[in-house]
């Protein structure tokens, strides 16, 4: 008998991240992965350095200090928080624990590419739901729900669109989904959106809503892979039963706690992103490039067609600038551009303007 993987595994298309290297350019301007252009908090760096003396020690299994810090900063219940190696791991726990063969997992057409991967890895069937003008359509999600549906993964703000649906709409969706379905609110970019708690109040008032967050974006710790989830105690208890006891190192825990407590740095990153995001979008519109209002740390620049997008990408690469082609997300005619610092934003707009002028 031959050795074969579980059903669904070979149907998984490998995830492709944003490119970070560019031939001929030793230090390209990387605007392809939605990274924080200001890096991590200096307090997080100091905590990471200080943790070096504890490399021989196993980390705590309960993540108590980090969960307490998250709860304090966000006004949450620490007992309802779970930490993971990036929010991806928490999303994986949910699929592993609540979906399997014969079940369905709903995601929207422009959602995070990991959602169908997580569904298939658990043996479940991913169900893609159309969006409407690059915005999540909650009526379409509800229409796709069946007795087999177990999870709904919803990115808000959306990636790569940058669009978002208001909390009132999310609440109506949470109220209308079947009782056996868990609504998972992926809030990787929540901190960049004004007036949105990522669904925390919904989690506290409903038995089947979970939210996830990450330290990779606004906190600038993408290289350390730290995330967390917040949900009903019963669900968090289930997820902790499959979580590896030492899934986060002492270094990760120390850096994350210092990062989330440095609220001044977080606010600086948020305000600068908001200012430059508006500027970047306005300049794209001035150049005749379609671009929706974004609520994240990137914009989706939509060109006339795929050929123009490819041409602009090539022109940017020639100038040492990396952005993200998003054909795999259903936008062959678009480029997702991370909001960099002021110099980075000016540089990418100048390069696009030269391309448009030459074209």
Mean pLDDT in consecutive groups of 10 residues from the start of the chain, 359 residues: 81 74 82 97 98 95 98 98 97 98 97 95 97 97 98 97 96 96 98 94 96 98 98 98 96 98 98 98 98 98 98 97 95 98 98 89
**Distance, CA of 187 to CA of 214 (rounded, Å):** 8
Given a contact cutoff of 8 angstroms between Cβ atoms, the answer to whether 129 and 141 are in contact is: yes
Specify the pLDDT at position 27. 85
Specify the pLDDT at position 1. 64
Specify the pLDDT at position 10. 83
Say if pTM beats, i.e. exceeds, 0.85.
yes
Instruction: Name the nearest CA neighbour of 159 among 332, 326, 349.
Output: 326
Instruction: Name the nearest CA neighbour of 40 among 347, 344, 252, 249.
Output: 252
Specify the pLDDT at position 2. 83
E strands within the chain?
29-30, 81-84, 104-108, 125-129, 149-155, 182-186, 209-214, 227-230, 298-302, 321-322, 324-326, 331-338
Specify the pLDDT at position 334. 98
Specify the pLDDT at position 24. 73
Indicate if the alpha-carbon torsion angle 63, 66, 71, 72 is positive or negative: positive
Specify the pLDDT at position 15. 73
Q: Phi first, then psi: what are they for 112, rounded to 5°?
A: -55, 130
Specify the pLDDT at position 39. 97
Specify the pLDDT at position 358. 66
Q: Phi first, then psi: what are they for 25, rounded to 5°?
A: -130, 110
Helices (H), 196-305: 200-205, 233-240, 250-261, 263-286
Specify the pLDDT at position 151. 98
**Distance, CA of 138 to CA of 113 (rounded, Å):** 19
In sequence order, the β-bridge partners of residue 127 are: 106
């Amino acid at each position: 008998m031959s050795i074969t993987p579980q059903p669904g595994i070979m149907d998984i298309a490998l995830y492709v991240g944003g490119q970070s290297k560019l031939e001929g350019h030793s230090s390209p301007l990387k605007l392809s992965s939605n990274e924080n252009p200001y890096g991590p908090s200096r307090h997080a760096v100091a905590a990471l350095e200080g943790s070096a003396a504890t490399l021989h020690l196993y980390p705590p299994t309960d993540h108590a200090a980090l969960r307490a810090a998250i709860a304090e900063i966000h006004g949450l219940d620490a007992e309802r928080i779970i930490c993971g190696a990036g929010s991806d791991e928490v999303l994986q726990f949910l699929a592993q624990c609540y979906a399997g063969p014969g079940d369905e997992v709903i995601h929207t057409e422009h959602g995070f590419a990991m959602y169908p991967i997580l569904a298939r890895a658990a043996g479940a069937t991913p169900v893609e739901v159309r969006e409407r003008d690059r915005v999540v359509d909650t009526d379409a999600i509800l229409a796709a729900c069946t007795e087999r549906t177990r999870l709904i993964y919803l990115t808000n703000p959306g990636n790569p669109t940058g669009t978002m649906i208001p909390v009132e709409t999310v609440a109506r969706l949470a109220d209308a989904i079947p009782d056996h379905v868990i609504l998972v609110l992926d809030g990787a970019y929540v901190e960049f959106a004004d007036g949105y708690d990522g669904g925390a109040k919904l989690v506290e008032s409903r038995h089947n809503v979970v939210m996830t967050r990450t330290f990779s974006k606004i906190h600038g710790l993408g290289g350390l892979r730290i995330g967390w989830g917040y949900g009903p105690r019963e669900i968090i208890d289930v997820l902790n039963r499959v979580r590896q006891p030492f899934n986060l190192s002492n270094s990760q825990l120390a850096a994350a706690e210092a990062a989330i407590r440095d609220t001044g740095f977080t606010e600086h990153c948020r305000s600068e992103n908001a200012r430059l995001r508006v500027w970047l979008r306005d300049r794209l519109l001035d150049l005749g490039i379609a671009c929706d209002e974004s609520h994240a740390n990137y914009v989706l620049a939509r060109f006339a067609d795929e050929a123009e997008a490819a041409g602009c990408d090539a022109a940017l690469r020639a100038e040492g600038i990396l952005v993200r082609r998003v054909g795999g997300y259903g936008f062959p005619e678009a480029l997702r551009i991370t909001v960099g610092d002021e110099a980075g934003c000016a540089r990418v707009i100048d390069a696009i303007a030269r391309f448009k002028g030459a074209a």
